[in-house]
Structure formats: C-alpha cells, structure tokens
C-alpha cells in the first residue's frame, strides 16, 4: 500500500467493526484483525459488553466500544451512528444476533451509515439490498447468504448494478460484481478456507483496503475503490490459504490467515 510520507495518524484509514453476540465473540475480532493487518491507522470494535475484555486483549491497537448490554439494542443505535460518522469504512454484521430487534437496528445502521460499509453474515437479509441501495456498500455473501438475499447467481452483475452496490460472492471461485454492472472472477485458494472465520477476515480486509484508498481532497472513496478492494482482498486471502496449507496442512485457522495479510499485500 502507498501512502503520503507526510500523513498523520488517522489519515491512512479508520475502520469500525460492529458485530458479535452472546455466543460469538470471534467473528468481529477476526474482521478487526484483518483490517489492522491491512495497514489502517485506527481500528474501532463495537461488540457485546461481555466480550469487551477479550477484545482489548486481542490487540493493543483496538479501541473498544462495548454495546450497552450483551446483544445489540436500541440504546446502541445513536452512539454507533456517531462512531460511523468519524470512520472511513465499517464492517457490519459478523456474529450479530438475528433477533427481530437486532435486525431492525442493523437495517437502520445500513440505511443511515455515512461511511463506506461492508455487509456480512447477519447483515445479509432479504431486505439488505433495498437498505443499501445507492450507498457505498459491499455485500460479501457465500452461496447460502446469496440465496437469503434473494439473488440468483446468474443475475449477480445485473442486481449489483440495479442497487448500485458491489457484491462479492465467496466460493472456490469468488465472483465480484461492481455497481457499474461489471463482473470479475478470482480463483485459487484451497479447501482450508472452509474453516470458520475466513469470511469475517475477508470482510475486514476489504474494509481496510477501502479505508486506505480515500481521495484526500474529496474525503470519499473513488468509484473504483470497492471493486479493487474486493479483488485484492480475494487474491490475498486465497494466496494466504495456499501458503498456510503448505506449512500446516488444513489445520490452519482464520487468525493464521489474518497474520499472512501483510506479507501477501506487500507482494502486490
């Protein structure tokens, strides 16, 4: 990644991760680690109050914003939107509860988010495309989540163009549809990427790359940035898996993948 040698703290990317539930603390933290390893200056993690200590222990660089309770609630909506107003990008969804109340809050976050957003896991629902329409949004579904979105894989590019979003469909070959209707495929990787958390890492890496490619004059992402970020992130994650499988077989973890990110990015 290139950056201005005269830049200051925060000017090379600020990313927020909003995720987690009572039984799931790892998903948002893996997204946060991936954003951190992408090279952003600042990473903010919003997750259930009961997980705040493990979040602080995961990285000394994380700025932790615990929810009011052990699941996301209405009390969290205003402070989360205030946080997003200061971000370059955010990941919304990893590990979040899927109750109706939680879904209502997630929908409001998506519709009101002022920064670029990467939507994953619990943020991928039948209403997501409508809520994200026209925003600087990347959706990162696997095939099951694509079905939940109500999208036919054959129409991926047309749907992305209709709603003016980027859709990154994960699989042995990732299919990435841009808001302009373009479609790119990235193959590679191996079966080790079925391990839990690699999708969370991908989402965090995409957000980290988007946050570092800001136009310093307009302070907004250029139209090509989400697509470029998805393609680069896909290649990095897949290449990391191949390298790790040579070292560990299929016993590597999603955290191992995040730790390979700096080396693989530096290879570009």
CATH number for the domain that contains residue 119: 3.40.1190.20
- The pLDDT tens digits for 50-76 are 999 999 999 999 999 999 999 999 999
Helix or strand holding residue 138 (H, E): strand 137-139
Q: What is the pLDDT of residue 190?
A: 93
222 lies in some domain: yes
Residue 30 lies in a domain: yes
Domain for residue 5, yes or no? no
Cα 165 to Cα 182: distance, rounded to the nearest angstrom: 11
Segments forming the whole domain that contains residue 177:
14-266
pLDDT at 10: 62
pLDDT at residue 222 above 60?
no
In a domain, 8, yes or no: no
Answer whether residue 262 shows pLDDT above 50: yes
Residues 214-225 have a mean pLDDT of 48
- pLDDT above 60 (res 28): yes
Give a yes or no: residue 7 inside a domain. no
* pLDDT confidence tier of residue 219, bands split at 50, 70 and 90: very low
Q: Check residue 4 and give its pLDDT.
A: 64
* Contacts for 134 with CB less than 8 Å, ≥ 6 apart: 163, 164
Residue 214, domain member (yes or no): yes
Helix residue ranges per DSSP H, 99-197: 100-112, 128-132, 143-149, 156-163
Locus of tokens 């990732």: 174
Each residue of 104-117: pLDDT tens digit? 999 999 999 999 99
Cβ neighbors of 206 (< 8 A, separation 6 or more) are 118, 138, 140, 168, 226, 229, 230, 233
- Residue 63: Cβ-neighbour burial (10 angstroms; 0-12, 13-18, 19+): middle
Cβ neighbour number for residue 112 with a 10 Å cutoff: 14
Q: Check: CB of residue 145 under 8 Å from CB of residue 125.
A: no
Q: Which pLDDT belongs to residue 267? A: 85
The β-bridge partners of 66 are 47
What pLDDT, on the 0 to 100 scale, is given for residue 1? 57
How many independent structural domains does the chain possess? 1
Q: Does residue 53 sit within a domain? A: yes
The average confidence (pLDDT) of the chain is 93
Structural contact between residues 186 and 238, judged by C-beta atoms closer than 8 angstroms: yes
How do residues 241-257 score in pLDDT, each as one tens digit?
A: 999 999 999 999 999 99
Instruction: Tell which residue, 116, 24, 15, 130, has the closest CA to residue 70.
Output: 24
Tokens of 138: 């990347």
95 occurs within a structural domain: yes
């Amino acid at each position: 990644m290139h950056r201005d040698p005269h830049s200051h703290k925060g000017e090379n990317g600020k990313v927020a991760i909003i995720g987690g539930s009572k039984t799931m603390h790892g998903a948002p933290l893996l997204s946060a680690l991936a954003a951190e390893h992408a090279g952003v200056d600042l990473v903010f993690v919003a997750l259930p109050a009961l997980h705040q200590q493990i979040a602080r222990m995961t990285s000394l660089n994380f700025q932790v914003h615990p929810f009011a309770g052990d699941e996301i609630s209405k009390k969290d909506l205003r402070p989360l939107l205030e946080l997003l107003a200061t971000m370059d990008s955010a990941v919304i969804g990893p590990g979040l509860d899927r109750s109706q109340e939680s879904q209502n809050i997630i929908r409001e976050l998506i519709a009101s988010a002022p920064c670029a957003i990467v939507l994953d896991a619990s943020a991928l629902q039948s209403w997501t495309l409508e809520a994200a329409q026209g925003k600087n949004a990347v959706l990162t579904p696997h095939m099951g989540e694509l079905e939940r979105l109500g999208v036919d894989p054959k129409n991926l590019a047309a749907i992305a163009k209709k709603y003016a979003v980027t859709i990154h469909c994960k699989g042995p070959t990732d299919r990435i549809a841009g808001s302009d209707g373009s479609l790119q495929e990235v193959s590679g990787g191996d079966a080790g990427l079925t391990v839990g958390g690699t999708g969370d890492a991908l989402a965090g890496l995409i957000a980290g790359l988007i946050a570092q490619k800001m136009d310093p004059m307009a302070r907004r992402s250029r139209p090509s940035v989400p697509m470029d970020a998805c393609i680069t992130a896909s290649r990095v994650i897949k290449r990391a898996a191949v390298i790790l499988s040579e070292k560990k077989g299929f016993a590597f973890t999603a955290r191992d993948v995040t730790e390979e990110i700096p080396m693989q990015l530096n290879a570009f």
